[in-house]
Structure 1
Amino acid sequence: MPCYAIDGIRPVVDPTAHVHPTAVLIGDVIVGPGAYIGPLASLRGDFGRIVIERGANVQDNCVMHGFPGSDTVVEENGHIGHGAVLHGCVVRRDALVGMNAVVMDEAEVGTQTIVAACAFVRAGLKLPPRSLVAGLPAKVVRELTESEMAWKREGTAVYQDLTRRCHASLVECSPLTEAEPDRPRMPAPDVKPLVATKREGA
């Protein structure tokens, strides 16, 4: 992986974490046990500290950065969707930040809270636990249901399993020129999009 020290400070990656070879880690970055860092994620600890705690995931094309002296933190089992931007904020334990959402400086995403895709969480906003948050700017919509929190936990567990799969079998290769007969499919864990879960429960 592209990994750079700056001012003598080197990133730290727990041996049980998976950092994709195209992700970039710079300076004061700490990636904890069992964490997953996806392709093309950028974790820039060249001003403030970046911390990814145990079992959290930061998916493809995410950006994490902060002002000097700040910490940008994803706590245990945090879940950061594709393309999200976190800047000088804290995402608490078991929370989810959706795809292409932005969470700004000194904001706090509460424990088990879900920030919807494309939401904008303004600087300094403290979001309560177990809430669904959406909009531009982001606002609390309602409290999460038990089934929504269970759906989030299942999705995070899938990424924790992906970390193990990557350690076991991810290798760089050349593509085939055509699909082979009876081409196998990827393992299909029993997790569905939230909209499908709600539809089935209706």
Structure 2
Amino acid sequence: MSTSALKARPGVTIVPIHGKTPDIHDSAFIAPGCTIIGDVTIGADSSIWYNCVLRADVSRIVIGERTNVQDGSVLHCDPERPGDPDGSPLLIGDDVLIGHMAMVHGCRIENRGFVGLGAIAMNKAVIASDAMLAAGAMLTEGKVMGERELWGGRPARKMRDLDDAAIMGMRAGVMHYAQNAKDHAEAIAAL
């Protein structure tokens, strides 16, 4: 376990449960108001923004490096069940953008995936590399998005392929949030 999970993080609630304590990389930014529970791993230079809840009390949540989870988002997972011995852990890769107020539950988001604000991704769904789930969309259970695809609607369906400009915009967003997290960490430390 990283020492970061045990050190003081002003205004952050970290809850060990069922013998699992969140493992948060020292370089990750966790904003005040967040609650992080159980078997959660957060990678280097990732950021969890104000008032997010990450609850891994029945399975695990893994977040890669330089990924950001924006304000008010809720992340959860599902346990194993009869006929489903693996359950639905929430697995999030590197350089992922998750917009404000998203609900991400027991799915997989590959490297550089994007979840728009207010979107929902459900158990066993997959958001592929460089793919975008549009704002307000709902990716239903087990749906698989291809690389560089934009899906939208409720339920979400493929709308089109993403061009290079859209991909570069998402990558710029990753860099922006990595720097912004450092700025917020410094501002909070100065309080």
Q: What's the TM-score, normalizing by structure 1?
A: 0.83
Find the counterpart in structure 2 of residue 54 from structure 1.
Answer: 65
CA distance, structure 1, for counterparts of residue 178 and residue 71 of structure 2: 15
Find the counterpart in structure 2 of residue 143 from structure 1.
Answer: 161
Find the counterpart in structure 2 of residue 11 from structure 1.
Answer: 22
CA distance, structure 2, for counterparts of residue 51 and residue 163 of structure 1: 19
CA distance, structure 1, for counterparts of residue 13 and residue 146 of structure 2: 36
1:20 corresponds to 2:31: yes
Number of matched pairs = 173
1:73 to partner: Cα distance: 1.6
Identical pairs, percent: 31
Within 5 Å, give how 1:1-202 maps onto structure 2: 1-68=12-79, 69-171=87-189, 173=191
SS in 2 for 1:162: helix
CA distance, structure 2, for counterparts of residue 42 and residue 167 of structure 1: 19
CA distance, structure 2, for counterparts of residue 144 and residue 169 of structure 1: 36
CA distance, structure 1, for counterparts of residue 34 and residue 190 of structure 2: 15
CA distance, structure 2, for counterparts of residue 7 and residue 96 of structure 1: 31
Larger Rg: 1
SS in 1 for 2:90: strand
1:172 to partner: Cα distance: 7.2
Find the counterpart in structure 1 of residue 83 from structure 2.
Answer: none
RMSD: 1.1
CA distance, structure 2, for counterparts of residue 63 and residue 170 of structure 1: 23
For 2:71, the aligned partner's letter is: D
1:171 to partner: Cα distance: 4.0
Q: What's the TM-score, normalizing by structure 2?
A: 0.88
CA distance, structure 2, for counterparts of residue 30 and residue 104 of structure 1: 20
CA distance, structure 2, for counterparts of residue 106 and residue 125 of structure 1: 7
CA distance, structure 1, for counterparts of residue 178 and residue 151 of structure 2: 24
